[in-house]
A and B are shown apart, each in its own frame.
Chain A
Amino acid sequence: MDVTVEVNGLRKRFGATRALDDMTFSVKPGLVTGFVGPNGAGKSTTMRIIVGLDRPDEGSALVGGVAYRTLKRPLTHVGALLDASAFQPSRTARNHLLWLAQSQGLGPRRVDEVVEQVGLGTAARRRAGGYSLGMRQRLGIAAALLGDPPVLLFDEPFNGLDPEGIVWIRGLLRSLAADGRSVLVSSHLMSELQDVAGHLIVAGRGRVVADRAVEDLIATASNGRVTLRTTAREDAMEALARAGATVTVTGADSLTVAGLSGAETVAVLTAAEVAFAEVSAHRATLEEAYMELTRESVEFR
C-alpha cells in the first residue's frame, strides 16, 4: 500500500489571516518526518486539512493517493493526535476509545490492546477528566494507534510530557517508523526531535521553508565552523577577529569560529600566544540548524 502523504499547494485564509500560503511537501514511509516551525506557521492547519477537518481554499492533501474524506474506515488509514484534550471528561478513557473503535467497525479487544500499548493500564477505567496532561497525551496517542494505521500524524505530542514520557514517545515514534509507517510529528521545539526525526520540514508563514534530510541540514548548518575551548576567551576573540574570523560566544569557555578552518585557528592562536584546550569541527544541534533556517520567516505577533 502507498502510504505517503502528499500536500500540494495548500492555501487557507481565516478572515484576514493567511494561515497557509502554498504549503507543499510529502511524507515518506519508514522514517519520522519532523514538521517544525514557529507558532502560527500553519502546522496544525495543515494537519487538520490532511484529515479532512478543514477545507483548503486551494490545493489538495492526499493520503496514499486519495482524499481523506473518501476513505471508508479512515482511522485504519490515518491515525492522528491533534488535540490531546478532545474528550468528554466524564467518560472513561476506555469508553472514549470504544466509541471511536466502534465507529470504524473495530471491537473492544483492539481498545484493550492500545490501552496496554500506551501504558494507560487500569487508569483507562477512570474518568478521563481527571487525567494529567501526560496521560491525556497517551490517550490521544492510543486513539491515533487504534486503527493500526500506516500513516500517523502527531501534533505537538511532547506537550506536557514528563522526561520519562518524552523518552517513551521518542521510542514509540522510532518504532512506528521502523515498521515502515509514515510518521509526521509537528513541534515548535526542535530539541524534542533531536535524534528522532530523519527528515525535516520547516514551515514558516504558511509555507515550506526547508524540506531536507536531517543529516544534510546539520552538515549545512555546521559547515566550516570550528568549536574552540579556552579559558582566555577575551584574548582569543581579539586575535581571531584580527585575523578576519567571526566569533560567537557559546559558553563560559567555548567559542564558535566561522571564516577560518581548524588549522588556521590553531595557527592564529599559537602566533598570538593564546592558550586553548580544544579545537574541533563544530557539529550544529538541530535547534541551531532550525534557527538559521527560520530566522527570516519568524512571525512575531
Chain B
Amino acid sequence: MIPLLRSEWTKFRTVRGWVAGSIVAVLLTVGVGLLGAAGTVRSCQGPQGDVCPEIPIGPGGQAVHDRFSFYHRALPGDGSITVKVADVSGVITYPPPDHDKIVPGVVPWAKVGVMVKQDLRQGSAYAAVMVTGAHGTRVQDDFVNDLAAGGDPWLRLTRSGDTLKGESSPDGTSWRVIAERRLKGPALIGLFAASPCDVTLSQGALGGTIGACRLTNVTGKFEDVSVEGASGTWTHDDVGGEIGAPTLSVGSARVWGSTIQLTGSGDISPAGMEGGAVVERTLTGASIGLIAVIVVGVLFVTAEYRRGLIKATLAANPGRTGVLLAKAAVVATVTFAGGLVAAALAVPVGIGLMRDRNNSIAPITALTEVRVIVGTAALLAVTAVLALALGAIFRRSAAAVIAAIMLVLLPQLLATASVIPSSAAQWLLRVTPAAGFAIQQSIPAYPQVEDYYIPALGYYPLPPLGGFAVMCGYAAVALAGAIVVLRRRDA
C-alpha cells in the first residue's frame, strides 16, 4: 500500500491543473466565505443611536433569552418554596387563521412555577420547577437543561447547602424528587411566569418561508404558597424588562393571603440563532469550493480513462482495489489539508469582519468551533472521495461532475435557499449526501424551545455527526461500488 500511495501522490502533484484546482478550492472557500461575512451587517438605529442590545450569556456560555416575570424574596442560605399551580391561563395576540383578534390561550411552552436564581442579572444561574402550557411538569436549569416530570400541580424547590432539590406532588403530601442541581451562595427564591411568542411558519406564495412570532402572556394562579428560609419582602421584577414594552408583555403580581396570581411574558431559554451571527456564516464558501473539489476528485480518475493511462495503472497494479483506495486516500488527504487551511483562515478573519460590522457572534465552545472547522475540512474531503468514486464508475468527467454536484451541492442549495417547502428541504438534508453540511451547524436546536428550526435558517434535521455519517455512507457505498466495477470491467 505504501508504494501505491507514493505513486498516486506523485501522480497528483505532477499535474499542475490538479494542484491548482486544490488551491482554487481553498481560495473559493475563504473568499466566498469572507464575502458572506462582510455582507453581514447589523444596525440597531434607535433613540440612543446605533447601539445594539447586549445579548445575555448563560452559565453554560450560550447566548440566552432571559426575560420573565419574577415575584421573589432573598434566599441567603438554606430554604424552600412550595406551591400548588391551581390554574394556568393566558392571552395570544392575533393568532391564525385571521390574525385579527386577541384571544385567550396558552402557548405550549408557556411556563409558570418556582425558581431559585442567583440574582436579577439576565443570564445568571437558576433552577426551576414548572408547569407548562402543553408539555406537563418540568425541571429546567441554566437555560439549556430540560427534564420532563409528569404532570403534577404541586411543585417544590429546596436548597440545603449547595444542593437544590426539585420535587413534584399530585396532592401536596407525597413528594417525588425529580432532579438535583447545584447552586451556591446567596440567591433569590420565588415564583415566575414566562410565555414565549406564538411561532408559526408558512409557505410564501412565491417560495420562501414566512415565520411569524406573536406576543403572548401567561398567568399562573399559585395556591398554598409557603416559603422557608427566605428573608426580606416579596418583590416583583420583570427580569430583562424593557422600558416602553407593550402592555401585554409587562408582568404583574396580585396577592390574596397565600394565593398569588403572577402574569408574565418572555422566555428563559437558549437564544438559538437570535444569539448573534453564527460562525458557519464565515464558511458558506465551502459550498462553492466544493465545486473545485469535485472537479479535481473526478478528474483524478477520469483523466486516466481519457488518456488510456488507466491501462498502465492497472497493469502495474493488477489487484486494482489498492489503486482506488490509494487514490481516495491521496485526494482526501490533499482536500482535507486544504479545507483545514481554508476553514482555519475563514473563521477567525470572518468573525473579525462580522464584529467590525456591529454583529455580536453567537458564543460557542472551543470544542464546537474545532468541530465546525475540522468538520468543514472533512466534509470537503469526503466529497472528494465521493466524486472520485463517481468518476471511476462513470469514466466520464462531465457525467461524474454533474452527478456529484446533483448529489451534494444541489440538495444543499435547494434546501438552504428556501425555494422549496421546509419539509422537502428537511427531507433532502436527511437522505442526500448534503446531510453532511450539518457538521457546520454550531448552534443546536433545543426541543424545549419553539423556534424556526428550518434549513433556511441554518438548522439541519440531523445532528452534526449524524448528518456527516450519512454523507460518509454515500462515499463509502460509491467507493465500494467503484472498486467492484473496476475489478470486473476490462480496462
B61 in contact (CB, < 8 A) = no
B17 in contact (CB, < 8 A) = yes
A35 in contact (CB, < 8 A) = no
A51 to B314, CA, bound (A): 9
Q: Are A69 and B316 in contact (CB under 8 A)?
A: no
A132 in contact (CB, < 8 A) = no
Interface stretch (choices B186-194, B287-295, B301-309, B348-356): B301-309
A89 to B14, CA, bound (A): 11
Q: Which residues of chain B (1-58) have a CB below 8 Å from chain A?
A: 3-4, 6-8, 10-11, 14-17
A104 to B10, CA, bound (A): 13
B490 in contact (CB, < 8 A) = yes
Chain B residue contacts of A80, Cβ below 8 A:
315
Q: Are B11 and A82 in contact (CB under 8 A)?
A: no
Nearest-neighbour CB distance to chain B for A8, whole angstroms, equals 19
A132 to B307, CA, bound (A): 16
A290 in contact (CB, < 8 A) = no
Q: Are A98 and B10 in contact (CB under 8 A)?
A: yes
Q: Are B7 and A102 in contact (CB under 8 A)?
A: yes
Nearest-neighbour CB distance to chain A for B324, whole angstroms, equals 14
Q: Are A100 and B307 in contact (CB under 8 A)?
A: no
Q: Are B10 and A86 in contact (CB under 8 A)?
A: no
Nearest-neighbour CB distance to chain B for A101, whole angstroms, equals 8
Nearest-neighbour CB distance to chain B for A68, whole angstroms, equals 6
Nearest-neighbour CB distance to chain A for B21, whole angstroms, equals 12
A51 to B304, CA, bound (A): 18
Q: Are A102 and B303 in contact (CB under 8 A)?
A: no
Q: Are A52 and B307 in contact (CB under 8 A)?
A: no
Q: Are B3 and A105 in contact (CB under 8 A)?
A: yes
Q: Which of the listed residues A69, A71, A92, A102 has the most CB atoms from chain B within 10 Å of its own CB?
A: A102
Nearest-neighbour CB distance to chain A for B437, whole angstroms, equals 33
Q: Which of the listed residues A54, A70, A91 has the most CB atoms from chain B within 10 Å of its own CB?
A: A91
A74 in contact (CB, < 8 A) = yes
Q: Which residues of chain A (199-220) have a CB below 8 Å from chain B?
A: none
A143 to B309, CA, bound (A): 12
Nearest-neighbour CB distance to chain A for B270, whole angstroms, equals 53
A105 to B317, CA, bound (A): 12
Residues 380-400 of B, flagged 1 when their CB comes within 8 A of A and 0 if not, give 000000000000000000000
Nearest-neighbour CB distance to chain B for A57, whole angstroms, equals 11
B86 in contact (CB, < 8 A) = no
Nearest B-chain residue to A94, judged by Cβ: B14
Chain A residue contacts of B7, Cβ below 8 A:
99-100, 102-103
Nearest-neighbour CB distance to chain A for B60, whole angstroms, equals 52
Q: Are B10 and A95 in contact (CB under 8 A)?
A: yes
Total cross-chain contacts (CB, 8 A): 84
Nearest A-chain residue to B314, judged by Cβ: A53
Number of interface residues of B (CB under 8 A): 27
Of A55, A88, A98, which contacts B307 at CB under 8 A?
A88
Of B3, B307, B308, which contacts A102 at CB under 8 A?
B3
A87 in contact (CB, < 8 A) = yes
Number of interface residues of A (CB under 8 A): 32
Nearest B-chain residue to A79, judged by Cβ: B315
Nearest-neighbour CB distance to chain A for B220, whole angstroms, equals 74
A88 to B313, CA, bound (A): 12
Nearest B-chain residue to A89, judged by Cβ: B307
B319 in contact (CB, < 8 A) = yes
Nearest B-chain residue to A91, judged by Cβ: B14
A190 in contact (CB, < 8 A) = no
Nearest-neighbour CB distance to chain B for A184, whole angstroms, equals 15
B485 in contact (CB, < 8 A) = no
Q: Which of the listed residues B7, B16, B315 has the most CB atoms from chain A within 10 Å of its own CB?
A: B315
Q: Are A90 and B311 in contact (CB under 8 A)?
A: no
Chain B residue contacts of A87, Cβ below 8 A:
307, 309, 312
B104 in contact (CB, < 8 A) = no
B318 in contact (CB, < 8 A) = yes
Nearest-neighbour CB distance to chain A for B7, whole angstroms, equals 4
Q: Are B316 and A88 in contact (CB under 8 A)?
A: no
A85 in contact (CB, < 8 A) = yes
Nearest A-chain residue to B490, judged by Cβ: A54
B491 in contact (CB, < 8 A) = yes
Q: Are A90 and B17 in contact (CB under 8 A)?
A: yes
Nearest B-chain residue to A52, judged by Cβ: B318
A143 to B312, CA, bound (A): 9
Chain B residue contacts of A82, Cβ below 8 A:
311, 315
Of B14, B16, B303, B307, which contacts A85 at CB under 8 A?
B307
Nearest B-chain residue to A147, judged by Cβ: B316
A75 in contact (CB, < 8 A) = yes
Q: Are B10 and A88 in contact (CB under 8 A)?
A: no
A74 to B8, CA, bound (A): 17
Q: Are A71 and B312 in contact (CB under 8 A)?
A: no
Q: Are A91 and B15 in contact (CB under 8 A)?
A: yes
Chain B residue contacts of A75, Cβ below 8 A:
315-316
Of B4, B11, B311, B318, which contacts A83 at CB under 8 A?
B311
Nearest-neighbour CB distance to chain B for A62, whole angstroms, equals 14
Chain B residue contacts of A68, Cβ below 8 A:
318
**Contacts A55-B490, A90-B17, A105-B3 given: A74-B318 contact, CB under 8 Å?**
yes
A172 to B254, CA, bound (A): 108
Q: Which of the listed residues B15, B309, B312, B490 has the most CB atoms from chain A within 10 Å of its own CB?
A: B312
- Report 17 cross-chain contacts, Cβ distance below 8 Å, ordered by A residue: A48-B311, A48-B490, A48-B491, A52-B318, A53-B311, A55-B490, A69-B319, A83-B311, A86-B307, A86-B312, A88-B304, A91-B15, A99-B14, A100-B7, A103-B317, A104-B3, A143-B312
Given contacts A74-B315, A88-B307, 5 further A-B contacts (CB under 8 A): A53-B311, A53-B490, A99-B11, A103-B7, A105-B3
| Minimum-distance CB pairs A-B, first 8 | A103-B7, A86-B308, A95-B14, A99-B10, A102-B7, A54-B490, A53-B491, A52-B318
